[in-house]
Amino acid sequence: MQFISTRGKSVAENAARAISKGLADDGGLFVPETFPDLTGKLSDMIEMDYSERAALVIGSYLDEYEKKELLSACVKAYGLFDDGDAAPLVKTDDGFFIMELFHGPTLAFKDLALTLLPYLLRRGSDISGITEDILILVATSGDTGKAALEGFRDKEGIKIMVFYPSEGVSDMQKLQMSTQEGDNVKVIAVKGNFDDCQTAVKNVFADADTAEILKTAGVITSSANSINFGRLVPQIVYYFSAYCDLVSSGEIKLGEKINFVVPTGNFGNILAGYYAERMGLPIGKLICASNSNNVLTDFFSTGTYDANREFYKTMSPSMDILISSNLERLVFEVSGRNFELTAKRMAELRAGGKYSVSEPEKAMLKNDFYAACCKESECTATIASFFQEYGYVLDPHTAVAVKVSSDYKKATGDDKCTVVLSTASPYKFPQSVLYALNGERGSDAFCCAEKLYSLSADPIPQQITSLKKKEKRFTEVIEPSEVREAVLKFAAGK
pLDDT given for residue 141 in this prediction: 86
Query: How far apart, in whole angstroms, are the C-alpha atoms of residue 206 and residue 292?
Result: 31
Half-sphere exposure at residue 290, Cβ-oriented, CA atoms within 13 angstroms: 26
pLDDT given for residue 166 in this prediction: 93
pTM of the model: 0.96
- Find out whether 28 and 47 touch, Cβ atoms under 8 Å: no
> Was domain 85-104+230-459 assigned CATH 3.30.950.10?
no
All structural domains of the chain with their residue ranges: 85-104+230-459
Residues of the chain with pLDDT under 50: none
- Find out whether 222 and 121 touch, Cβ atoms under 8 Å: yes
Three-state DSSP string of the chain: CEEEECCCCCCCEEHHHHHHHCCCCCCCCEEECCCCCCHHHHHHHHCCCHHHHHHHHHHCCCCCCCHHHHHHHHHHHHCCCHHHCCCCEEEEECCEEEEECCCCCCCECCHHHHCCHHHHHHHHHHHCCCCCEEEEEEECCCHHHHHHHHHHCCCCCEEEEEEEECCCCCHHHHHHHHCCCCCCEEEEEECCCHHHHHHHHHHHHHCHHHHHHHHHCCEEEEECCCCCHHHHHHHHHHHHHHHHHHHHCCCCCCCCCEEEEEECCCCHHHHHHHHHHHCCCCEEEEEEEECCCCHHHHHHHHCEEECCCCCCCCCCHHHCCCCCCCHHHHHHHHCCCCHHHHHHHHHHHHHHCEEECCHHHHHHHHHHEEEEECCHHHHHHHHHHHHHHHCCCCCHHHHHHHHHHHHHHHHHCCCCCEEEEECECHHHCHHHHHHHHHCCCCCCHHHHHHHHHHHHCCCCCHHHHHHHHCCCCCCCEECHHHHHHHHHHHHCCC
